[in-house]
């Protein structure tokens, strides 16, 4: 809706209207939120235009909504509640559209959204206009989605990458509960196998450490088993070749020592990240003998793109290139079509040969078996999803629930979400790192068999 036809420029400026109503689209994230914000911005002006009969809508329900009656007040209350509740979610979605979003970013913005919702509901109904029953519904939805996306994802990539983001070492986003405070920079002793509980207590956050260690150990085990199957084609092959025979047999302990050193912010995990990305920071540690195992796993974790925006943008450009011209759009000269020729007789021969294959051939039988297995897997997946959805009904809706090691009251979480669409996150703009800078072999299968995974 444009106000140019009914209001002068001066009147629009006096009303604070710099933009009209936003149309609800089909391809943009949070499009309903954008439309709701624009309606809230223009509401009083629309109400004035209707009551003064400068515009005369034919819809009686619309007239009642903007005429100052009970329907109008009820609509405004619902609009205000919607905007306040959806605002953190919308800003998260816009931020996570970035083409280099990784699992670490996903977890961070989940925490930021939870922190803002918690702060909103803690204000109470008198301040927000949001009833306790509505707040509980929203909290229940948040907790269900958090558990489904963060806690139920195999190998725990979101929490693991967040914990291993060097920018957040020592941050108050983690609750510190370790018995030993974070030490000064020192070079750790050689690898030793320590008791798990005592080992974790040497970190500022033992529970978070144990959770991350379990996820990394599972991932490392999968990589080693993959090497046993495909040998040189496995991504871990180059790492295993660089390690000595003793290191390969104790690769799990190597991971433990390196994770412990990172958690305690010890050398060599003390270099500032500077203007590098997290992925670049971990890649630089790939060849360091005291970081190579942990760095190998983290490079894989941080290489995962958490959205499909690059593909979608390419698809949009491709669709736009082949879309019909809009009215008034300048027509460009079309290039000559490329014509290619194919010998149709060879296609007919290939087709006849494929048709003559016996249905009882081994290849066909294997294909049928594979299809049957796929159908069975789909049925099992449907059954598992039903059970999963039933389990989701039993969630706490009285408070925002995230990992118990995370502090939702951390002030830094209130600076994560950008205030406007397209703006950078205030957290990363003002992020200042503390300066803590300190002054090929043959792989035998017997060595991998000797790994103790318990």
- Alpha helices per DSSP H over 303-401: 309-321, 344-355, 362-392
Distance of CA 197 to the CA centre of its chain: 31
User: Of residues 448 and 428, which shows the higher confidence score?
Assistant: 448
Predicted confidence (pLDDT) at residue 57 exceeds the cutoff of 60:
yes
Predicted confidence (pLDDT) at residue 431 exceeds the cutoff of 50:
no
Highest mean pLDDT out of 50-54, 121-125, 335-339: 121-125
Q: Taking residues 66-83, report their average pLDDT.
A: 86
- For the chain, give every domain's residue range: 99-309+378-392+406-454
Predicted confidence (pLDDT) at residue 258 exceeds the cutoff of 90:
yes
Q: How many CA atoms lie within 13 A of 37 on its CB side?
A: 16
Percent of the chain at pLDDT > 70 equals 66
Q: How many CA atoms lie within 13 A of 281 on its CB side?
A: 19
User: Which residues make beta-bridge pairs with 231?
Assistant: none
Res. 85 pLDDT band, cuts 50 70 90: very high
Phi, psi angles (nearest 5°) of residue 67? -100, 10
Closest CA to 102 of 294, 312, 279, 313: 279
In Å, how far are 160, 259, 276, 286 from 163, measured between CA atoms? 5, 11, 18, 19
Predicted confidence (pLDDT) at residue 265 exceeds the cutoff of 80:
yes
The Cα–Cα gap between 321 and 317 comes to: 6
Copy the structure tokens of residue 217: 């150990």
Instruction: Tell me which of 79-93, 163-177, 258-272, 334-348 is least confident.
Output: 334-348
Instruction: Tell me which of 166-180, 263-277, 334-348 is least confident.
Output: 334-348
Sign (positive or negative) of CA dihedral 198, 202, 204, 208: negative
Q: Taking residues 279-307, report their average pLDDT.
A: 90
Contact 245, 447 (CB under 8 A): yes
Q: How many CB atoms lie within 10 A of CB 385?
A: 10
Model pLDDT for residues 5-26, shown as the tens digit of each residue: 555 666 666 667 777 778 887 7
pLDDT at 418: 77
Question: Which residue is it, tokens 């039933």?
Answer: 390
Predicted confidence (pLDDT) at residue 148 exceeds the cutoff of 80:
yes
Model pLDDT for residues 197-215, shown as the tens digit of each residue: 678 888 888 899 999 999 9
Model pLDDT for residues 391-417, shown as the tens digit of each residue: 445 566 788 888 888 888 888 888 888
DSSP 8-state symbol, 24: P
Res. 421 pLDDT band, cuts 50 70 90: low
pLDDT at 294: 94
DSSP 8-state symbol, 233: G
Predicted confidence (pLDDT) at residue 59 exceeds the cutoff of 70:
yes
User: Of residues 133 and 436, which shows the higher confidence score?
Assistant: 133
Contact 278, 102 (CB under 8 A): yes
Res. 426 pLDDT band, cuts 50 70 90: low
Question: Which residue is it, tokens 């009209």?
Answer: 20
pLDDT at 91: 87
pLDDT at 114: 92
Residues in the chain: 454
Closest CA to 107 of 156, 45, 35, 176: 156
Instruction: Tell me which of 119-123, 128-132, 399-403 is least confident.
Output: 399-403
Question: Which residue is it, tokens 């979101």?
Answer: 158
Q: Taking residues 66-90, report their average pLDDT.
A: 87
Question: Which residue is it, tokens 């929490």?
Answer: 159
pLDDT at 349: 52
Model pLDDT for residues 309-345, shown as the tens digit of each residue: 655 555 555 555 656 666 666 665 555 555 555 565 5
For the chain, the distance separating the N- and C-terminal CA atoms, rounded to the nearest angstrom, is 65
pLDDT at 432: 43
Contact 295, 285 (CB under 8 A): yes
Highest mean pLDDT out of 25-34, 135-144, 170-179, 271-280: 135-144
User: Which residues make beta-bridge pairs with 174?
Assistant: 406
Predicted confidence (pLDDT) at residue 158 exceeds the cutoff of 90:
yes
Dihedral, CA atoms, 176, 178, 184, 186, nearest 10 degrees?
-130
Closest CA to 152 of 406, 404, 378, 389: 389
Closest CA to 79 of 126, 33, 134: 33
Number of H helices, E strands in the chain: 20, 0
Contact 244, 441 (CB under 8 A): yes
The Cα–Cα gap between 225 and 237 comes to: 11
The Cα–Cα gap between 390 and 382 comes to: 12
Predicted confidence (pLDDT) at residue 189 exceeds the cutoff of 50:
no
User: Of residues 204 and 371, which shows the higher confidence score?
Assistant: 204
User: Of residues 153 and 68, which shows the higher confidence score?
Assistant: 153
Predicted confidence (pLDDT) at residue 130 exceeds the cutoff of 80:
yes
Copy the structure tokens of residue 61: 């329900």
pLDDT at 355: 47
Closest CA to 74 of 84, 66, 86, 85: 66
The Cα–Cα gap between 299 and 280 comes to: 8
The mean pLDDT value of the chain amounts to: 75
Res. 138 pLDDT band, cuts 50 70 90: very high
Res. 390 pLDDT band, cuts 50 70 90: very low
């Amino acid at each position: 809706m444009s106000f140019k036809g009914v209001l002068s420029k001066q009147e629009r400026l006096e009303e604070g209207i710099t933009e009209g109503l936003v149309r609800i689209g089909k391809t943009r994230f949070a499009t309903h939120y954008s439309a709701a914000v624009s309606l809230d911005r223009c509401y009083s002006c629309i109400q004035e235009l209707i009551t003064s009969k400068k515009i005369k809508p034919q819809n009686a329900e619309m007239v009642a909504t903007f005429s100052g009656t009970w329907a109008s007040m009820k609509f405004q209350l619902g609009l205000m509640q919607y905007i306040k509740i959806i605002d953190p979610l919308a800003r998260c979605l816009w931020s996570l559209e970035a083409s280099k979003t990784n699992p670490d970013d996903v977890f961070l913005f989940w925490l930021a959204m939870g922190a803002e919702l918690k702060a909103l509901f803690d204000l109470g109904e008198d301040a927000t206009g949001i009833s306790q029953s509505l707040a509980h519904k929203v909290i229940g939805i948040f907790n269900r989605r958090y558990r489904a996306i963060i806690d139920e994802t195999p190998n725990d990539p979101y929490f693991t990458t967040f914990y291993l983001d060097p920018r957040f070492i020592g941050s108050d986003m983690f609750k510190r509960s370790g018995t030993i405070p974070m030490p000064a920079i020192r070079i750790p002793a050689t690898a030793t196998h320590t008791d798990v509980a005592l080992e974790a207590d040497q970190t500022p956050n033992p529970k978070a450490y144990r959770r991350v260690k379990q996820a990394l150990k599972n991932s490392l085990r999968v990589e080693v088993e993959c090497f046993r199957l495909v040998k040189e084609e496995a991504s871990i092959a180059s790492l295993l070749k660089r390690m000595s025979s003793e290191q390969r047999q104790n690769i799990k302990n190597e991971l433990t020592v390196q994770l412990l050193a990172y958690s305690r912010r010890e050398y060599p995990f003390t270099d500032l990240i500077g203007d590098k990305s997290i992925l670049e920071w971990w890649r630089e540690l790939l060849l360091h003998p005291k970081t190579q195992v942990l760095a190998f796993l983290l490079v894989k974790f941080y290489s995962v793109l958490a959205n499909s925006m690059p593909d979608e943008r390419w698809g949009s450009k491709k669709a736009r290139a082949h879309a019909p011209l809009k009215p008034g759009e300048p027509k460009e000269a079309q290039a000559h079509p490329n014509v290619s020729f194919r010998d149709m007789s060879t296609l007919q021969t290939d087709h006849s040969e494929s048709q003559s294959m016996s249905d009882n051939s081994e290849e066909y039988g294997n294909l049928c078996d594979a299809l049957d297995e796929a159908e069975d897997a789909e049925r099992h997946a449907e059954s598992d999803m039903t059970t999963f959805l039933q389990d989701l009904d039993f969630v706490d809706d009285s408070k925002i629930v995230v990992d118990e090691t995370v502090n939702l009251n951390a002030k830094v979480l209130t600076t994560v979400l950008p205030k406007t669409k397209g703006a950078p996150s205030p957290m990363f703009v003002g992020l200042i790192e503390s300066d803590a800078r300190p002054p090929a072999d043959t792989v035998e299968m017997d060595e991998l068999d000797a790994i103790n995974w318990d």
